[in-house]
Chain A
Amino acid sequence: MSLDFSVLLRFQEALALGLWTTVKLTLICIVLGCSLGFLVGLSRTSPSAIVRGIASIYVEFFRGTPVLIQLFWIFFCLPLVLGVELSNLASGVIALTLYMGAITSETFRASLKSVGREQMDACIALGLPRRVQVTNVILPQAVLRAAPTLLSNCISLFKESALVSAVGMADLMFVGQNISNNTARPVEVLTIVALIYFAIAFPLTRAVTLVEGRILKKLAI
């Protein structure tokens, strides 16, 4: 068969719109998901067994089931449960935020744990008040150590966001599949769609390596 990539030129605008939806969805869910993840990560170190229990059930459940089924549940079941209509965007944001919250909470938890006991000893020996221990010693180190993994989590979210196409949200993947069906040129269209995802995700994975190197050098962990 012969390939003809020129068919895509007609759909530049549609693809750009789809990409914008993907990027917008990803960025919103990065902000919301990281905040949720930080709170959940903290909760998992809470002295209260109930708080810890709820946080772990949430994390384990979202890590233990396919994102696709989470998405279906939120698109088709949540409106029934709440008794309100949810827009596509709202459902997508809820689903991916919950996903992102679950994976980043593990990142934050690990980085909080990695700030060693000796650092706490040093804080006490210097007489630092609890608030200063958290804001000036623990938090900055935890965030620094979490940075590379958080960035990886963002890349995962970017990729998982393509799932919203399965519930009819017009993201890059959805637009691509539509064009592919209408033009009957799946090879050209789907390859280009894949390359667009790749062109964004790949440089970010390199950035993870860079950030990791910087932080390793700075903190000498």
Chain B
Amino acid sequence: MTSASAPLVSIRSLHKSYGPHIQVLKGLDIEMKPGERVVVIGPSGGGKSTLLRVMMGLEKIDSGSITFGGKPYISSANADAKTAINTDVRRSIGMVFQHYTLFPHLSVIQNLVLAPCKVRGEKKASATQRAQALLERFGLGGKANAFPAQLSGGQKQRVAIARALMLDPKLMLFDEVTSALDPELVAEVEQVILQLAEQNLPMMIVTHDMWFAKNIASRVIFCAGGVVVEDGPPEQVLGSPREERTRDFIDRVFHIKQ
């Protein structure tokens, strides 16, 4: 069992490359406490998506290990060895992608109930009821029977978040979930994530939206070149960064934004 101060996620010297030449993560160490909301920022191509995909169990790793709630989750001894993934642990993590990835042939409600019914064997009626309640809460009550193609980007992304929540995840991963949206639709998705933050759902968020980062983060990690460059409370990392590279990056992003 885990006490309140024990880490929720513990990533140890994580190495990940695509093929022999593209080294993306070069020895990453991150520890995440329960209830923390970690925002990961950094230059494009720095390995943020790769980190989240590894944490979701979507990618093999070269070496390193990840534990979740004290249990071993992902590990690999070296590049040739197989990546061991504990699929039971994986089920307690949810992820939302930049490009929605809803199932286009299923209606909104069918998208939501598929996993609970098939993974946990939940009764269709009970799953449908929970799904409907979740949709109401996200302002999508009227869209249950719509198909993804009939929704706006913002609506699709809220459905994708609801779909992930149907499995009661203990950790949510958000990878640039507003990057593909028109500016006026960004707020409605961010509102939903802020709602989840109020319930202290642990999450790791990759975003380029500094306003959102400031508002949601309990901690910010600046990640570049496959390593953690700076790690601290949002006021420090975003407000007065210690590292030269962090400052450069934040200057550039803020100057464009303001």
Contact = CB atoms under 8 A, between A and B. Distances in A.
Q: Per the CB under 8 Å rule, do A and B touch in the complex? A: yes
Interface of A: 118-119, 121-122, 124-129, 132, 136-137, 140-141, 144, 217-221
A199 B57 CA distance: 55
B18 interface: no
Given A136-B114, A219-B149, A220-B149, A125 B103 contact: no
A129 to B, nearest CB: 7
Interface residues of B, number: 27
Contacts of A119: 101, 103
A141 B104 contact: yes
B105 A219 contact: yes
A118 B118 contact: no
B105 A141 contact: yes
Nearest first, the 10 A-B pairs at minimum CB distance are A220-B149, A122-B101, A126-B115, A127-B91, A125-B95, A219-B104, A132-B118, A118-B101, A127-B119, A140-B105
A124 B55 CA distance: 12
A137 B103 contact: yes
A126 B104 contact: no
A217 B104 CA distance: 10
Contact of A220 (B57, B115, B148, B164): B148
Contacts of B148: 220
Given A124-B57, A125-B164, A144 B115 contact: no
A128 B115 contact: yes
Contacts of A125: 56, 58, 93-95, 97, 164
Given A121-B97, A127-B115, 5 more contacts: A124-B56, A126-B115, A136-B118, A217-B149, A218-B147
A75 to B, nearest CB: 42
B85 to A, nearest CB: 10
A40 B36 CA distance: 51
Interface in B185-209: none
A141 B149 CA distance: 14
Contacts of A141: 103-105
B228 interface: no
B167 interface: yes
A126 B164 contact: yes
A219 B114 CA distance: 18
Contacts of B158: none
A77 to B, nearest CB: 44
B2 interface: no
Interface centre among B97, B118, B164 (most CB of A within 10 A): B118
Interface centre among B56, B99, B104, B148 (most CB of A within 10 A): B104
B87 A127 contact: yes
A195 to B, nearest CB: 39
B58 A124 contact: yes
24 contacts: A118-B99, A118-B101, A122-B97, A122-B101, A122-B103, A124-B58, A124-B90, A125-B93, A126-B115, A126-B119, A126-B167, A127-B90, A127-B91, A132-B118, A132-B119, A137-B103, A140-B105, A141-B103, A217-B149, A218-B104, A218-B147, A218-B149, A219-B105, A219-B149
A216 to B, nearest CB: 9
Interface string B55-97: 0111000000000000000000000000000010011011101
Contacts of B95: 125
B87 A144 contact: no
Contacts of B94: 125
B48 interface: no
B168 to A, nearest CB: 12
Contacts of A217: 149
A29 B149 CA distance: 35
B119 A128 contact: yes
A127 B58 CA distance: 11
